[in-house]
Copies of this chain bind each other. A is one copy, B any other.
Amino acid sequence: MASSTPPYELVYYTGVPGRGEHIRLLFAEANVIYSDTGSLGMAGARQAVVEHLKGHQNNPPYYAPPMLKHGDLLISQTSNILMYLGQKFGLAGSAANSDEYRVNALALTALDGLSNEVHDNHHPLVSDLPYEDQKDESIRRNKEWLKLRFPKHLAYWQLVLEQSKGQWLMGDTFTYADIVLFQCIDGVKFAYPNVMAHAEKSGKYTAVFQLWDCVRLRPNIAAYLASDKRQKYDWGIYRNYPESDVVPTQAA
């Protein structure tokens, strides 16, 4: 069966982990061979992205990467690609129980709250303008976000893990939602080291930080993270602006 399936091709930029990182981590965990336009270098990857966004054959044009090509199928949207691959590789829970929809809900919620919102913290106006053009707005948004949103997000994930009947978000079953939450927490740790150290010390979110630790120590994930395929955080979603990494007065 494995030999008859067409190759998996990830179409994404290189130079930052970005949204594509969730997919690279899923491939790593599943130990699946795939091609990656990231290996073409910055310019080559960008060109491949532009080309694939046009759509082809039975595929519509898409708005933004990451994209996945698998035979005739070309799809975009991070959560969508994860759902497709998660089911192929047994990382979406029990199909008989329709777990893939529970897992997709969890993944979407992690991406909304701890990836998209965090991106918008440094780009509260439009992503098309540089940070420097919206720094005042960013500083104000950051302050409110850390006070009002950040504790809600961490408390939510703590609750999911406390209600879970096992060590993962979906009980004893490891799913790609655990990978997504790991990557989100990892990025937030990079962007807000002071705030996250404070949150960890508070003891309110022990299950969340433990999940981060358990995912990164899984053998396939650990090997990937130690490899040169793992991109460094830089200009992407997760940015460390010291002016924003300030523990709020009413701390989380």
| A interface residue numbers (CB < 8 A to B) | 55, 58-64, 72-73, 75-77, 79-80, 83-84, 97-98, 101-102, 104-106, 108-109, 112-113, 116, 120, 124-126, 128-129, 137, 140-141, 144-145, 148-149, 156, 159-160, 163-164, 169-170
Which residues of the other chain, B, contact A109 by a CB distance below 8 angstroms? 62-64, 76-77
Quick check: A169 and B126 within 8 Å, CB to CB? Answer: no
Which residues of the other chain, B, contact A145 by a CB distance below 8 angstroms? 125-126
* A141-B124, A141-B125 known; A61+B159 contact, CB < 8 A: yes
User: In this complex, which of A79, A84, A125 has the most chain B Cβ atoms within 10 angstroms of its Cβ?
Assistant: A125
Quick check: A156 and B73 within 8 Å, CB to CB? Answer: no
Which residues of the other chain, B, contact A104 by a CB distance below 8 angstroms? 75, 77, 80, 83
For the complex with contacts A124-B124, A126-B144, A137-B140, 11 further pairs of A-B residues with Cβ separation under 8 Å are A60-B160, A60-B169, A62-B109, A63-B112, A75-B101, A80-B101, A80-B104, A83-B104, A84-B98, A124-B125, A125-B140
Quick check: A129 and B148 within 8 Å, CB to CB? Answer: yes
Which residues of the other chain, B, contact A120 by a CB distance below 8 angstroms? 120
The residue in chain B whose Cβ has the minimal distance to the Cβ of A137 is B137
